[in-house]
Structure 1
Amino acid sequence: MTAGKAAARRPARTGRRPGNPDTRRAILDAARTTFAESGFDGSSIRRIAGRAGVDPALVHHYFGTKDDLFMATIEMPIDLPAILQRVGAAGIDGLGERMVTMILTVWESPAGAGLAGWLRTALADEGRARLLREFVVGSVAGPFAASLGLPEAERNRRTGLVMTQVLGLIVGRYLLFLEPVVALPPAQLIASVGGTIQRYLTGPLPDGTA
C-alpha cells in the first residue's frame, strides 16, 4: 500500500481545535458568553474550554488564569493583578496611600482613556456590573483584606468600604469630573483618600449600634 493510499484511509481528526490564530478568538468569545451567563464565580476554565472546543490546557496557554482570561475579555489596557501585587508587597502599613498613588498613576497615564470607557460600559450594563462586582471583591479587594487575618464578616465589611473610596475617587475625578476633586493636587488626594482607605483596612470601625 502506498503512503498516499494509507493517508487517504486514515480517519479525519475530530474533536478539539489546534492552536491557531482563530483559537484565541474562539476562547475569548466562549469566555464572554460564559461569564455573561454564569458570572465570574460560576464560570470555570473547563467550561469555557468546552464551549470553545479546545483543551483547558490551551486556555491556560493563551491566557493563564481565569483572572487573566476575564481581564482579556473586557480588554482592560493594564495588568491590574500585577499592579495590585506590587502595591501590596510592602505590607499593610501605608497601603491606603499606595493604593491611591497607584490609581492616580494609572488613570492619568495613556491607559486612562481606555479604562474610563471600560468602566462606563460596565456601570451601564447590569450583567457587566455583576461581573465587575464579583471580580473586584474576589480577585482585587479580597486578597488585601485576607492578609489582615480577620473573620470573614469583618473582612467583607472592610473590603466593601475600601471599594467605596476607590470607585468614588475614580468616578468623581475621571468620569464625572467633579471640580473640587479634579482641582485637588495629587498629594492632597493621596493623603486624604489614602488615609480613609487605611482606616477602613486597619482602624476601628463603628459597632453598628445607634
Structure 2
Amino acid sequence: MPEQPTSPISRPPRGRRPGQNATREAVLDAARARFAADGFHATTIRKVAADADVDAALVMQYFRSKDELFAAVMSLSPGALARLAGAFEGAEDSLGERVARAHLGVWEDRSKDAEALLAMLRGAIVHEQAALQLREFIESRLTEDVRRRAHDDHDTAVRVALAASMLIGILVGRRVVQVPLLTGEDMESIVQRVGPALQELLVPRSTPDSA
C-alpha cells in the first residue's frame, strides 16, 4: 500500500497556546534568551512576544511590564520589585539612604529573591552579558525617578551609572568577595555611610542655571 502523505502540522492561532502554563513558560523561555542576547534595555515586550510566537498583549497579561518579566526570568518576586520601587517614595532629602537600604535589604534578606540576585551577581563576575544585564537592571530601577529631578540627560545617565556601580561594588564586596571589613559591618552601618554619596548622585543640587 502506498504511503499516505502526512498532513501538515497545524499551529495554534498566534497569541493562543494549549494551556496557560505552557504559554507562560514559552514566554519566559523566549524572554530568558532575549535578555541574554540583547541585554535589558534593548529587549522589548514585542520582541519577546515574537520570539514566543504570541501577541504582545498576551505577554502583558502575564507580566505587566518588562521589569516584571525580567524579575520572573530571574525568579524574583513582585514584592522584591515593590521594595526597590518603594525607595523613591518619601522625602527627597533621605532618598540616598532609602535606595541603599532597599537594595542591600533585597539582596541580603536570605530569601529566594536574595538567592536569585546573588546568582545573577556571581554570573556577572565571569560573563560579560550577565554583567550587562545586572548593570542595566539596577540602572533602570534608578533612572526614571532621577530623570524627573534633573535637566541634563547625559549628566543624569552618568550619575545613575555611578550610583549603580557603587551599589554593585558594595554587593560584590559583601556577598561575593566577602571583604572582612564589609561583611563584618551590619547593613544599617553601611547604609549610613553610603547613603550620603548616593544622595549626591541621585538628587543633584540646584545651580543658578537650573533653578
Following superposition, the deviation at residue 134 of structure 1 comes to 2.8
**CA positional deviation for 1:89:** 0.8
Instruction: Give the whole-Å Cα distance in 2 for the aligned partners of 1:161 and 1:85.
Output: 19
1:29 aligns with 2:10: no
Q: How big is each residue's C-alpha offset from its partner over 1:67-88, in whole Å with a ceiling of 9 and x where there is no partner?
A: 2112212223564432222110
User: Post-superposition shift, 1:63?
Assistant: 1.4
Partner residue, 1:15: 13
Question: In the aligned structure 1, how far is the partner of 2:12 from the partner of 2:162?
Answer: 51
Q: Counterpart in 1 of 2:150? A: 149
> Displacement of 1:203 after TM fit?
5.2
- Whether the aligned pair in 1 keeps the contact of 2:118 and 2:175 (CA below 8 Å) is yes
Equivalent residue number for residue 7 of structure 2: none
Q: Please list, as runs of the form range in 1=range in 2, the aligned pairs for 1:1-210 lying within 5 A after superposition.
A: 14-16=12-14, 17-18=16-17, 19-77=19-77, 79-111=79-111, 112-137=114-139, 139-202=140-203
Partner SS, residue 40 of structure 2: coil
> What TM-score comes out, normalization by structure 2 length?
0.80
Alpha carbons of structure 1 residues 175 and 166: separation in structure 2 relative to 1, 3 Å: same
Q: For 1:20 and 1:202, locate their aligned partners in 2 and report how far apart those are by CA, in whole Å.
A: 43
Instruction: Give me the whole-angstrom Cα distance separating, in 2, the residues matched to 1:185 and 1:98.
Output: 16
The corresponding residue for 2:209 is: none
Whole-Å Cα distance in 1 between the matches of residues 137 and 116 of structure 2?
19
What SS does the aligned partner of 1:150 have?
coil
Question: Which 5+ residue runs of structure 1 have no aligned equivalent?
Answer: 1-11, 205-210
Q: Deviation digits for residues 15-48 of structure 1, max 9, x if unmatched?
A: 2233422111111111122223333333222222
Matched AA of 2:192: A
> CA distance change for structure 1 residues 36 and 184 in 2, over 3 Å: closer, same or farther?
closer
- Which consecutive unaligned segments of at least 5 residues does structure 2 have? 1-9, 206-211
- Most deviating of 98-107 and 59-68: 98-107
Separation of aligned partners in 2, 1:118 and 1:25: 20
* Distance 1:42-1:106 versus aligned 2 partners, 3 A rule: closer
Distance 1:60 1:179 in 2: 44
Check conservation: 2:135, 2:164, Cα contact below 8 A: no
Instruction: Give a deviation string over 1:83-112, Cα, whole Å, max 9, x none.
Output: 222110114211111122223322331223
Cα distance change, pair 135–104 in 1 and its aligned pair in 2 (3 A): closer
Query: How far apart, CA to CA, are the structure 2 residues paired with 1:50 and 1:25?
Result: 14
Q: 1:194 to 1:34 in 2, by over 3 A?
A: same
SS at match of 1:15: coil
Aligned length: 192
Change (3 A) 1:107 1:39: closer
